[in-house]
Amino acid sequence: MITFLISFLVDQLLTPGLPGRRRRERSQERAFADGGEVTFQAYVLGDRPYCRPVPVFLSASRTALHVSPTEVKELRRSVLPAERIAVQRIRGRERTDPRTIPSYWQLAQCRDGQADILIACDPTHMRYVDEALGAT
């Protein structure tokens, strides 16, 4: 638990301004453009079995979106039903959203059948979510 809190604070306070961040973003952009996967921290909130009230890791490619509790892709990784999930709109965090979502993150309001789903992540990663869900 303490490790989660420390990493959460580092992510909140330091990560947006680190010099290596832009280099990592360019590397992810190239990997995604070449058909590879990009893994990043996110929240998937809602009333579906794949939704969790805690941070998860999404792995996005042009054709699929996977969710895992860790960055290790082989550990309890599951596929999100991208063919059923439709992005309604992408927006900034509002006061009614959970406080655990960083204030600078974006949220994709989605529908999976009759259920509302929220996918929250850093704005630099939201385009990967949008493209992975829009590709189907």
Give me 42's structure tokens.
């996110």
Distance in angstroms (rounded) separating the CA atoms of residues 62 and 36: 8
Is the domain defined by 2-134 classed in CATH 2.30.29.30? yes
Per-residue pLDDT of the chain (136 residues; tens, 9 = 90+): 565 555 555 565 555 555 667 777 777 777 777 777 889 999 999 999 889 889 999 999 888 899 998 887 677 788 899 899 999 999 999 999 999 999 999 999 999 989 999 999 999 999 999 998 985 4
Write down the domain spans for the chain. Answer: 2-134
Nearest CA to 36 out of 57, 58, 59, 61 is that of: 61
Does the predicted TM-score (pTM) go above 0.85? no
Decide: helix, strand or coil at residue 30: helix
Q: Which two tokens stand for residue 108?
A: 């994709």
